[in-house]
Amino acid sequence: MDRLKGKVALITGAGSGFGRESAILFAREGASVAIADLDETGGSDTASQIASHGARAIFIRTDLSHPEQVKAMVEETMETFSRLDILFNNAGVAMEQTPIAEITEHQYAHIMDVNLKGVLFGCRYGAPAIEKSNAGAGGSIINMASMAALRGRPNLSIYCASKGAVVALTKSLAVELASRKIRVNAICPVAADTPMLPRFLPRGATVSFDAMRKAAAAQIPMGRLGRALDTAHLALFLASDESEFLTGLAIPVDGGYSA
């Protein structure tokens, strides 16, 4: 307990899945949490769950594809809590499996706007807020990538590209911000049992979602899909002072898939 005592965390996409589990875990470890999501119902519910356990939390409705809303998200966090120590750029969108010959410009723009631009501008506005809050003591930025950034997946070209770019962005910023003691790391989960998973099915799929889940789990040496809490535990470590000498990493959470 108290691994994040006195710290303020801003987590995007915290209305469900990885983000919700991380927000609840961070709060249990002493953090105040700003929850950003486009899903008002899910985001408000996460904030309510945290508040019901006596921790501080706010919900900020944010469309990450609009940089002005990302800026406002960071500003509201600072206005409410007077500081920012941890930024977890978790939010992302999935991609229906689509052969390269059928990719559309709209599909490209939607996925890149959230998965890459949202992370980029989260860092653009979050890093100065962390630096201002900590007077040289630094902080932590965590970016959500994917195993799709590290291993090719057929029919997921744009998604893989967006997550690969997040890893490259993470490494660049880790070097850029190291002198300010702001750590920047990426998490790369394997297929996980979250609300996003069904959205990877191809349009008009003849295979059932249950069959897809079983096939994905069969490829993982530990024999199961990832769980949101698996990723949340790594995010907690990266958010805490225990990881003060780790930066520029893209860390798999994959049950041995990348071994």
- Catalytic, 159? Answer yes
Residue 2 in any domain: the answer is no
Query: What is the residue-averaged pLDDT of the chain?
Result: 95
Q: Do the Cβ atoms of 198 and 17 come closer than 8 Å?
A: no
Residue 258 in any domain: the answer is no
DSSP state at residue 226: B
Domain count, the chain: 1
Type and span of the H or E element at 219:
none
Query: pLDDT per residue over 56-105, tens digit each?
Result: 999 999 999 999 999 999 999 999 999 999 999 999 999 999 999 999 99
Structural domain boundaries, residue 93: 8-253
Residue 3 in any domain: the answer is no
Residue 135 in any domain: the answer is yes
Residue 201: pLDDT above 80?
Answer: no
Among 108, 125, 159, 257, the one annotated catalytic? 159
Rounded Cα distance between 238 and 240, Å, is: 6
pTM value?
0.95
Residue 220 in any domain: the answer is yes
Residue 213: pLDDT above 90?
Answer: no
Mean pLDDT computed over 235-254? 98
* Residue recorded with tokens 């750590």: 183
Rounded Cα distance between 70 and 118, Å, is: 7
Query: pLDDT per residue over 120-169, tens digit each?
Result: 999 999 999 999 998 889 999 999 999 999 999 899 999 999 999 999 99
Give residue 1's pLDDT band: very low, low, confident or very high (50, 70, 90): confident
Give residue 199's pLDDT band: very low, low, confident or very high (50, 70, 90): confident
CATH of residue 14's domain is 3.40.50.720
Rounded Cα distance between 10 and 141, Å, is: 10
Per the structure block, which two tokens stand in for 190? 């394997």
Residue 64 in any domain: the answer is yes
